[in-house]
Structure 1
Amino acid sequence: MSMAELVDAGAPELPEGYFYRVRPESFGLLLIEIRRQGRWFSACVESVHVRPGNYETAETAVVAACTRAAEWWGTQRRDAEAQEAARAWHGDHDPKGRA
């Protein structure tokens, strides 16, 4: 299945340079990963396990897991951006308002 087919099925579209990887795990689980493509290798940025037997179809299970992974990844990215913005406020602050 291509990325376009996965998105057409309902999975969130990922930014350029990112892709989903679906692979079997033990105990009837699937591991859905969001991966960042590097020059030679890719790195996992988020992962979710899903049990296809808990859904009507395997496609529904994979799309639900992709959606969950994308939501978690988005939350982590927003938190990282907020932490970066907060760095401007790090340090001691003069109680009298002097620089």
Structure 2
Amino acid sequence: MADLVAAGAPELPEGWFYRVRADRFGWPEVQIREPRKRFGSRGHTYALVRVNEHPDELSAVVAACVKAVARMREDDEHRRRLRAAMEFVGDHDPKGGR
């Protein structure tokens, strides 16, 4: 991950890491992963690597890292807003009573 961060990818929280791998169709993708407590890791989000949109492969991978981090932040904000909306669950009397 240090090579990607040195090339411009955002730093991740302690212990988290980028995984560059092929998706199920064979296209390269960047995943953001968090280690599990006992073993293995859990994927949070991903972004496809678009090599045709960048001058070289490293900049394409770094761009995918940036996109994955942005997607993860959007997902976090979405979950925060969903939790806030859950405060309104219940019946609401239009006249203000119960």
Aligned identity (percent) is: 41
Counterpart of 1:91 in structure 2 is 90
Q: CA deviation at 1:74?
A: 1.0
Q: CA RMSD in A?
A: 1.7
Counterpart of 2:41 in structure 1 is 42
TM-score, length basis structure 2 = 0.84
Counterpart of 2:16 in structure 1 is 18
Q: Where does the alignment leave 5 or more consecutive residues of structure 2 unmatched?
A: none
**Quick one: which amino acid aligns to residue 63 of structure 1?**
V
1:1-22 CA-to-partner distances (Å, cap 9, x unmatched) read xx23311211111123321001
TM-score, length basis structure 1 = 0.83
Q: Where does the alignment leave 5 or more consecutive residues of structure 1 unmatched?
A: none
Name the count of aligned residue pairs.
95
SS in 2 for 1:21: strand
Alpha-carbon distance in 2 for matches of 1:69, 1:41: 20
Deviating beyond 4 angstroms after TM superposition, the runs of 4 or more aligned structure 1 residues are none
